[in-house]
Structure 1
Amino acid sequence: MCFSNKKINQLPKIRIDNIEIKYTLSHKILGLTLDAPKLKWKKHLENLKVDILNRINIMKKLTSLNWGANRETLLKFYKIYIKPKIEYGSTIYGAAKESDLKKLETLQNQILRLATACFRTSPIIALQALTNIPSLSQRIKELECIQLTKILNKPNKTPVKQQITNCINEYNPQRDKRSLVYRATETKINLNININPNEIPNISPIPPWYDISENVQIDFMNNITKNTPQIIIQKQFQELINTNYKDFNRIFTDGSKIKEPDSTSAAIYIQNKNITTIWKLPPKIEITHAELFAIKQGLKYVINNKLTKTIILTDSQSSLQLIKNSKPLNYKQITYEIQKQIHFLSTRKQEIKIQWIPSHKNIKGNEIVDLAAKKAHEINNHMSIPPDPNYIIKEIKIKNNKQWESNLKRILSTKNYLIKDNTEKPWTRAKYRKLDTCISRLTTKHTRLKQHLYRMKMENDPFCRWCKNQEETIEHMFLYCPRFNSHRTKLKDALRRVKINDIDINLLITGADQPSTIKYYILRHTKIFLQTTKLFDII
């Protein structure tokens, strides 16, 4: 294969063991089909579309209105069996033309229609709000930004990081519109997120023959619970110190995080010398990171002061589990630094133990360091340390989702649909798929009632099949049609029991601005009305 944006006048001939390698225009590697010479990913997207359609055909077998799976099951089927297939390699084939990528968007829209049993005329924006699934283009932008973050946090000698770093340094928006760097950078600017290069090792610094679990003790006492009396825990703590750590220097560590104002801090307390040291960390730092930072500072104090026997006491089990793990999934950088410190102390014959203790049990040193960590929030300026890559990834997901929700609400506010956002509305759901489908169609106002079908040029007139002189709308069927007067009277009587006298379509279908318990009550009687009138067969 040859890749070039220019015309290839003469194909190169390549031989291996005097056997000429055949020239081809496409080749599949690691599930991605490369197409020569311009690498437009058209062949890959065509193959992907065929594969997804086969999977959609399986999904169709589960969508019968009478006995089919409910919406949640169908969406799980999509997220587990179809969505990963679409997203695999999307950060690479995202460079394809928008017209080719829209074919995948169309397939996702088809899946959303199958899950909700809405019609082809149903607006995509309403389907996304009903299922809480953003557009595929929005999701691919998020994945590209996450991929760039992961690459920039690899070791500096990694070839892909070197290549991406060079692309960033030579970044030209006018020239590099198809590149991952351009696409991810545009998303990063749009979401107002900083992604800075940071070197995080892939391998633990401790040798494989060194057992770090001997230095880290998570066990405190058997059968400890939240209801265990303080006096028993305090006695156990004293027994533990007197039995195992009698001649040890004791260092208590703690981290703290508050939401208003957003602040993170850490502290250590050296009990033998009655010294407390506090730090204010960047607000982006999470609580586990703050706990690890405090442990790291405690180890640093041990190294600098050449203490021969030391025990570090912390109330963070999650931090100790990370330190014991040679392949931690989160907080790799600081965890590896702590592991390196522990191994360094062992080589210098300095005995170090890190012990978990319960929090808020009136253990003197733990209470002192806890107050010190809280006091650190009052410091004006925080120190500068890079956030964990997982926090940046989490921030990308949150900001991308908020941006999508904001755009969704803005568009829905200009429409005449009964759905106005993507929040969960369990009171509108029904176990019976046919009834659940009916509520979904009423929410989008795309139904099989004659007024809507007339607009679609599928009926000769828009008039009610019983009244003959009024348009067959949702409002007419629920509020005015004489055929359903007796059922409507029962519905109104039921609503009067909860002091609701004036009813409208928004109230009956969504619950309007009523409390959650009242919304469940309203929708329960709306569903009874739909079933007893057999309207759910018509809608």
Structure 2
Amino acid sequence: TSSYECEMIALNSGLDIAIEQDYKERMIHIMTDSVSWMSQLKLPIKPKRVNAIVAECAAKIAQLTQDNTVDIHFIPSHVEKNDNSGLETKITIGHSNEIDELAKQAANDGDEIQHDPFISSFKLHLRKKEQENLHDYIKENVNTSKVKGYPNRDKFKSKMTLNERKLEPATPLINRARTGHASTRQHLKNLNMEESSVCRHCNTEEETIEHQVLKCKALKGKLHKVRTAYHLLQTESFENALWEYPQELNGILVKAMKKRCFI
């Protein structure tokens, strides 16, 4: 559970206690340092922008205000300011030793609260589990192609790029280039859909994505800007670039397709 969720649980539980006490004509003070809770409380009826528990807190506060006065105090407990006296010391805004002691005592004496998991935590754990399952599946099932000339697929077994940046979401063009399963004659011939694997632009070399984007002499003029953008990446190879710079390479492949490259 995140610190934000802990704050929500504490505030919601405090409101439950206040309602159970059936207060009448009382002044109720709620003190919080949660900016998220305060900002979301302004718009508690918009489900796309607010957590359900915040809307629940808003409803409970409304219930309490029917017979009581409720004041909400925002205390920025982690903010500091310089003393006006000119001394080097700093004064913490909202800090109170008495409140700290009460909080520590409450932590020791209070009852443990049982609560359902937050949907945000559930989604986080679900995404983590999905990534673990995907990684295990890829590790067991992805193998380098037995056909000569296809990219090495070992990098699919790692979720990090060569320079340890997190991968951008893969696009169809990136995946085609990484696997070699593309509209190139090299791949189409292996599927018996083309009689020749020779490049349709230059009619000399084998037609691969790398050949068309970087090496084909017939496309030199059309792809001048594309090739300049690629060389600015200063990568060791086209295959490495697909993993090191997925976002940049996707842009390069998109532009190459517009210039009639087969990808």
The TM-score, its normalising length taken from structure 1, stands at: 0.31
- 1-structure distance, mates of 2:201, 2:60: 78
Identity %: 18
Identify the match of residue 313 of structure 1 among 30, 41, 59.
30
Matched, 1:368 2:96: yes
- 2-structure distance, mates of 1:463, 1:381: 79
- The amino acid across from 1:372 in the alignment is D
1:31-70 mapped onto 2 (5 Å cutoff): none
1:469-484 mapped onto 2 (5 Å cutoff): 470-484=205-219
Query: Residue 286 of structure 1: SS of its match in structure 2?
Result: helix
Identify the match of residue 168 of structure 2 among 403, 419, 425.
425
Cα distance, 1:296 vs. partner?
A: 4.5
Relative to structure 1, the CA distance from residue 383 to residue 479 in structure 2 (aligned partners, 3 Å threshold; closer, same or farther) is farther
Matched, 1:442 2:177: yes
Residue in structure 2 matched with residue 408 of structure 1 by the alignment: 134
Residue in structure 1 matched with residue 7 of structure 2 by the alignment: 287
Residue in structure 2 matched with residue 359 of structure 1 by the alignment: 75
In the TM superposition, what whole-angstrom CA distance separates every residue of 1:68-111 from its partner, at most 9, and x where no partner exists?
A: xxxxxxxxxxxxxxxxxxxxxxxxxxxxxxxxxxxxxxxxxxxx
Relative to structure 1, the CA distance from residue 471 to residue 386 in structure 2 (aligned partners, 3 Å threshold; closer, same or farther) is same
Query: Residue 96 of structure 2: SS of its match in structure 1?
Result: helix
In the TM superposition, what whole-angstrom CA distance separates every residue of 1:408-428 from its partner, at most 9, and x where no partner exists?
A: 2344453556994698737x8
Cα distance, 1:338 vs. partner?
A: 6.0
Q: Contact 2:199–2:205 at 8 Å: present in 1 too?
A: yes
Unaligned runs of 5+ in 2: 46-50, 80-91, 144-151, 161-165
1:67-106 mapped onto 2 (5 Å cutoff): none
Matched, 1:513 2:235: no
Relative to structure 1, the CA distance from residue 367 to residue 336 in structure 2 (aligned partners, 3 Å threshold; closer, same or farther) is same
Residue in structure 2 matched with residue 385 of structure 1 by the alignment: 113
Q: Contact 1:478–1:488 at 8 Å: present in 2 too?
A: yes
In the TM superposition, what whole-angstrom CA distance separates every residue of 1:474-529 from its partner, at most 9, and x where no partner exists?
A: 2333344443355666555444456x16441341xx4x335x9xx54x55455444
Relative to structure 1, the CA distance from residue 531 to residue 366 in structure 2 (aligned partners, 3 Å threshold; closer, same or farther) is same
Residue in structure 1 matched with residue 258 of structure 2 by the alignment: 531
Identify the match of residue 457 of structure 1 among 175, 192, 200.
192
Identify the match of residue 504 of structure 1 among 238, 242, 248.
238
- 1-structure distance, mates of 2:8, 2:240: 45
Query: Residue 477 of structure 1: SS of its match in structure 2?
Result: helix
- The amino acid across from 1:292 in the alignment is N
Relative to structure 1, the CA distance from residue 486 to residue 337 in structure 2 (aligned partners, 3 Å threshold; closer, same or farther) is closer
Unaligned runs of 5+ in 1: 1-256, 265-284, 347-351, 430-436
- 2-structure distance, mates of 1:398, 1:483: 49
Cα distance, 1:404 vs. partner?
A: 1.7
- The amino acid across from 2:74 in the alignment is P
The TM-score, its normalising length taken from structure 2, stands at: 0.55
Residue in structure 2 matched with residue 117 of structure 1 by the alignment: none
- The amino acid across from 1:458 in the alignment is M
- 1-structure distance, mates of 2:192, 2:110: 65
Residue in structure 1 matched with residue 146 of structure 2 by the alignment: none
In the TM superposition, what whole-angstrom CA distance separates every residue of 1:269-309 from its partner, at most 9, and x where no partner exists?
A: xxxxxxxxxxxxxxxx5322212223445x38x959x9974
- The amino acid across from 2:244 in the alignment is D
Cα distance, 1:471 vs. partner?
A: 3.6
Query: Residue 311 of structure 1: SS of its match in structure 2?
Result: strand
